[in-house]
Structure 1
Amino acid sequence: PNYVRPNQTYVYSHKYRQKRVEQEYNRMLDVIVPYLVRVHYISNTSTIISTFSQELATYLYERYIAPMSYLHVDRARQELKLVKSIQHRLNKSKYTLRVTDKSGIFHIGRAIAYEHKAEAYRQKTRAYVELESDPLWTVFDKVIHLLNDLRSKKHILAWQHEKMMPKRDKVALAYLYFIPKPHKEGTPLRPIVSSMKTPTTGISKFLDKLLRPLFDKHVRSTTIIDNVDLIHRLEAYVSNGYLKPTTYLCTFDITDL
């Protein structure tokens, strides 16, 4: 866009914005710091991480809480009015606005059309079955029993038991949802299973922290982390003399996840 307003959440309450800053700050540090420690062997008490944390907090403050000029305030109110107008029109015409699998891109379509495509996808792949009953608390009880049993037999420590133990007021059943892919012909749907709050999430996260360093170590030679890493790999590929006139570089796409 040719204009990006500072403090994108100005129209929300100050309390909401403070909470948003804390959530994003903690979420980003929880991902970035362990990665720097694990992959680049940077101490979590290093000056680099301390400086990064301070700059991140400053950036988030400027984005969510910093005051704006009168012109920006006026524009924020106009944009809010425009958004509410769009919401009213969408609701009136029975259209829905959906995020897509491409960052910053939205798709407008009829809810019934999304439902038909989702059903067609399930029928085609046979990968998902609709549950006739809610198994959440059955799974929850099994996880509790398993962890208590492991602790009573001293197979795990008290802090490990606490780390993996699910909280009754925070668990939720995993669910399937779809997001549109407008860059593909016919705007197919991409299935996503959200399981962030299932009773087994604590166990999964705990095991991931144990196994991830070992996994990353052994697959590093066959794993491309990002675009920069890809360029470095290609440069090494060429310098080692592997690139020939007969070399094929291929890409592929998965149609049904």
Structure 2
Amino acid sequence: MKADKGGSIVIMNSSEYREKMYRLLDDETTYAKIENPPTVQKLQNTFNQNVKKIISKLCNGKDTLCNKLFSSKLPELAYIYGSPKIHKDGCPLHPIVSTMKSPNKNLAVWLAGELGIYLGKFSESHNKHSVDLIEKVKNKNIKGHMVSFDVVALFTNVPLDKVLEFLQTQHNEGIFNPNRNKCLPGVDQIMC
């Protein structure tokens, strides 16, 4: 399998891999065990019904292109796998959830595109990559030391309710551009 960084190939005993994955999944603050998981068909039907309701509300009851774009067709369940972090002690796994064919994939891709244009607009501390950071600090007179912190499981530790509250505040302040794409609803409409 591929390493988390650097593109190296890692050979790991399958029992060690499963043990590390189970250890990740046993974290009840991040993952919840579902006793009777719904079928893919039930997930698809529920998702499509919700999309239809939202689009109908946004478009005054008209069936639109949006419904066709976001509705799920022939989905598969999302699955999780681990990518070894060979640069860390003990070679822990970086959990990756693949949603490539999940019911909400089209909506997620659209939402990422809609929100992606706002990266760096809410905070001056946002860096696109390490070269961006170097450009920002190279002409600064920094006294003392710069420190880099390693965040453990960043994405699973971001409080979703706080993110939604932040996005709602940005919407209320008119940050999102409702005229960016005429044929699709904007984030401003979804946040209503």
TM-score (norm 1): 0.51
Task: Please show how residues 101-250 of structure 1 align to structure 2 within 5 Å.
Answer: 101-124=4-27, 126-135=29-38, 136-153=40-57, 154-155=59-60, 158-167=64-73, 169=74, 171-213=75-117, 215-216=118-119, 218-219=121-122, 221-236=124-139, 238=140, 241=141, 243-244=142-143, 247-250=144-147
Deviation for aligned residue 1:206: 2.4
Amino acid in structure 1 at the alignment position of 2:66: Q
Other structure's SS at 1:190 match = strand
Amino acid in structure 2 at the alignment position of 1:102: K
Deviation for aligned residue 1:133: 4.1
Amino acid in structure 2 at the alignment position of 1:231: I
Please give the per-residue CA displacement for 1:191-235, whole angstroms capped at 9, x wherever unaligned.
11112221112222223333332x226236221112321221012
Among all aligned residue pairs of Structure 1 and Structure 2, give the percentage whose two residues are the same amino acid. 26
* Contact 1:125–1:256 (CA under 8 A) maintained in structure 2: no
Other structure's SS at 1:140 match = helix
Question: If you compute each CA radius of gyration, which structure gives the higher value, 1 or 2?
Answer: 1
Q: Could you say if the C-alpha distance between residues 185 and 207 of structure 1 is closer, same or farther in structure 2, counting changes exceeding 3 Å? A: closer
Deviation for aligned residue 1:159: 1.9
Give the number of aligned pairs: 151
Equivalence for 1:251: 148
Other structure's SS at 1:129 match = coil
Deviation for aligned residue 1:124: 4.9
Other structure's SS at 1:187 match = coil
Q: Could you say if the C-alpha distance between residues 108 and 207 of structure 1 is closer, same or farther in structure 2, counting changes exceeding 3 Å? A: closer
Other structure's SS at 1:108 match = coil
Q: Could you say if the C-alpha distance between residues 151 and 107 of structure 1 is closer, same or farther in structure 2, counting changes exceeding 3 Å? A: closer
Q: Could you say if the C-alpha distance between residues 129 and 160 of structure 1 is closer, same or farther in structure 2, counting changes exceeding 3 Å? A: same
Q: Could you say if the C-alpha distance between residues 101 and 152 of structure 1 is closer, same or farther in structure 2, counting changes exceeding 3 Å? A: closer
Amino acid in structure 2 at the alignment position of 1:229: D
Segments of 5+ residues of structure 2 without an aligned counterpart are: 155-192
Amino acid in structure 2 at the alignment position of 1:147: V
Indicate the structure with greater helix content: 1
Q: Could you say if the C-alpha distance between residues 205 and 108 of structure 1 is closer, same or farther in structure 2, counting changes exceeding 3 Å? A: closer
Deviation for aligned residue 1:125: 5.9
Other structure's SS at 1:216 match = coil
Separation in 2, partners of 1:211, 1:102:
26
Deviation for aligned residue 1:251: 1.0
Separation in 2, partners of 1:150, 1:125:
31
* Contact 2:120–2:126 (CA under 8 A) maintained in structure 1: no
* Alpha-carbon RMSD: 2.5
Task: Please show how residues 45-60 of structure 1 align to structure 2 within 5 Å.
Answer: none
Equivalence for 2:184: none
Other structure's SS at 2:12 match = strand
Segments of 5+ residues of structure 1 without an aligned counterpart are: 1-97
